[in-house]
Structure 1
Amino acid sequence: MVALDFAPLGGETAEIIHPRAGVKVGGPAALRKRIEYGTLVGSMATGSLFAVWWLLNHSMTWIEWTSLGVGYVIINVGVGMGYHRYFTHKSFETSKPMRYAIGVLAQLCCQGSVLRWVADHRRHHAHADHCGDVHSPVVDGMCNNEGTLKGLFHSHIGWLMDPTTTDLDVFARDLQQDPVVMWCHRTRWFWAFFSLAGAPFAFGYAFGGWEHGVGSMLVGGFLRTFLFLNMVLAVNSIGHTFGTERFDNHSHAKNNWVLALLTFGDGWHNNHHRHPRNAYAGLTWWEIDVNGYIISGLEKLGLVWNVVRIPAAAKAD
């Protein structure tokens, strides 16, 4: 399907001569996107409903809560350090074995493959809160102005089902030539099953038997991934609507301390849009950035290097 562009914000959309680079509308790619995201989100949501029922009808022990807590930390690091700071923005360099490890860690969040997550996020930065943004609360995928509630819905979850897709040849050409990324892409369904059901069930079964295996799978698998998915989606919606702005980024990206705590630093979204390649979203001592601390720790261990740090003067420009 040929990529389309649309008239400026406001009024009806209209095709114009010059295509918007990197955005496709309709076609098989849009159908595949809807099927994949529908399957992932639908599975997590359905499993979470069963998890709530399980919580109300069964006694929870340290097994289930450990499965939830440890799993939440793992996928939080996978998204923030893996998908976001490493694969998207190349905030540091590392070895091939570590690249595979970071890729697997990222895939455990069940938010699609490294390939497509990174392509979408690069598109978001290229068109932040303007026509072409993949998940803005200000403008939808067809470049129509969004009202507050409608925009929040679109940026949070509506974009997963809209007819637009990101052109991989524009925003992920390098990744399509990367054997690590493509291996992660091809094995994404295995890692989704492993994260949602396989690993949590095995953990619960090993320490408490069948009942705790099921409880760990529901609470530490489906509910955990669904809760964290909404934290990541909230950076798109809440993080572009509510919070403070240290920098004028020509977008609506905000710093939100609640989101920052829940996403291990990615809620310092205004900072990030000003310095996207910086390995640290928190720019002051009080801006807690757990993923940034982990990167520093890995650097001290010699597992990552060439960590991107902005000059101190740039933090207040």
Structure 2
Amino acid sequence: MTAVPETPAGAPAADEAAAGAKRTPIPEYEPELRGRAERFTVFAFVFIPLIALLASVPFFWGWGLSLVDIAIASVFYLISGLGITVGFHRHFTHGSFRANRALKIALAIAGSMAIEGSVVKWVADHRRHHKYSDAEGDPHSPWRFGDDWKSVAKGLYYAHMAWMYLDDKKTSPRRFAPDLLKDKDIVLIDKLFVPIVLFSLGAPALIGGLVTMSWWGALTAFFWASLVRVALLHHVTWSINSICHTIGEENFEVRDRSRNVWWLAIPSFGESWHNLHHADPTCARHGVMKGQIDISARVIWIFEKFGWATKVRWPDNERLAAKRVSV
């Protein structure tokens, strides 16, 4: 593991002494460990969509997929995926822009539809990742077991998905997301995570059934636009934790092993330009170099033009030049 980096901008300050020497620091982990029921639930939500994804090829071969399924799956992938990248990540975790109340609520609901955890939990885990990126304390570093190929292979699996159900420690929201716990709208949406999950899984089937006026249309829409869509989005998101911390290009100086992986840019909506993100975490655009497509940044730009997003932290050329890796 590398040395522990300093807390990046956009995460809560780690220096409790500044708030008073006698103040008791808030623990980074919840006092109770993950219970068996919680770990089994996470395991199920990881592997059931994965099984659907693996089954999609033979299921697709010659039957079982229509333009209606593709349309519904695409819309739900777009909404839930941007809810994660624009909402959970760039807005709630790093404060890359300010959203008005309606947009804030919409982003929190959309991100929850990705079924990657409730908004408060997701943000707390990700802020802890940035505080200890690729160092002791990082919840999902692929380098946690060592640098040899066997350790990295094991680390890739752990960083990609296993950490969610093998790690007993629970990140403390009071320590890493106190700002969200003070927001009544976000606290309510966090509590409504289960109903939002049910809507995310059930709405595609309902739409598919109504459009085709058949149970078969409902079933295929549920398979493609619920299970396969969730599985695909999960693995694209998790690839940022695993692949983008293992291989790729380093264009900007960072204290960890975050890298840019171009072939993940489109499905991840620009999140795979991960090297710049770790060099400048609060920047609203991750793909800052020529040819680096960043769909999430364009969506934020649209929100800004409509007046829904303000104080957007766009790239600063001088700051980027100072962090640029010399060729």
For the aligned pair, the TM-score class normalised by the smaller chain equals 0.7 to 0.9
Aligned partners of 2:29 and 2:171 also within 8 Å: yes
Q: How does 1:225-244 map to 2 (within 5 A)?
A: 225-244=230-249
Query: Is structure 2 residue 92 aligned with structure 1 residue 92?
Result: no
Say which of 124, 130, 133 aligns to 2:129.
124
Which of 187, 194, 197 is the aligned partner of 1:192? Answer: 197
Distance in 2 of aligned mates of 1:47 and 1:180: 34
Return 303-312 or 119-128, whichever deviates more.
Answer: 303-312
Change (3 A) 1:46 1:100: same
Q: Which amino acid aligns with 1:251?
A: D
2:21 counterpart residue number: none
- Return the letter of the residue paired with 1:147: S
Aligned to 1:277: 282
Cα deviations by residue, 1:123-143 (Å, 9 ceiling, x for unpaired): 000000000001000116xx9
Identity of aligned residues (%): 29
- Per the alignment, residue 149 of structure 1 pairs with 153
Q: Once structures 1 and 2 are overlaid, which stretch shifts more, 43-52 or 102-111?
A: 43-52
Contact 1:26–1:163 (Cα < 8 Å) also in 2: no
For residues 241-298 of structure 1, what are the alpha-carbon distances to aligned partners after superposition, in whole Å with 9 as ceiling and x for unaligned? Answer: 0101112211000011112222010000000001100111111241100000000011
Q: Check conservation: 1:257, 1:268, Cα contact below 8 A.
A: yes
1:82 aligned partner:
87
Give the CA RMSD over aligned residues: 2.5
For structure 2, the residue ranges without an aligned partner over 5 or more in a row are: 5-24, 323-327
Q: Which residue identity is paired with 1:38?
A: F
Structure 1: which amino acid aligns with 2:292?
A: E
CA deviation digits over 1:19-73, x for unaligned, max 9?
A: x985438834465652442232234234445655543473421111112222211
The answer for unaligned runs of 5 or more in structure 1 is 1-5, 10-19
Cα distance in 1 for partners of 2:125, 2:185 equals 18
| Residue of 106, 120, 124 corresponding to 1:101 | 106
- Which letter does structure 2 place at the counterpart of 1:260? A
State which of 44, 58, 62 in structure 2 corresponds to 1:39. Answer: 44
* Inter-CA distance 266–22: structure 2 relative to 1 (3 Å threshold): farther
Structure 1 position 245 matched with structure 2 position 239: no
Contact 1:48 1:218 in 2 (8 A): no
In structure 2, the partner of 1:254 is 259
Say how many residue pairs are matched.
Answer: 298
Match of 1:211 in 2: 216
1:51–1:222 contact (8 Å) kept in structure 2: no
The amino acid across from 2:111 in the alignment is A
CA-CA distance at 1:194 after TM superposition: 1.1
User: What is the TM-score when the length of structure 1 is the normalising length?
Assistant: 0.87
Alignment of 1:162-177 (within 5 A): 162-177=167-182
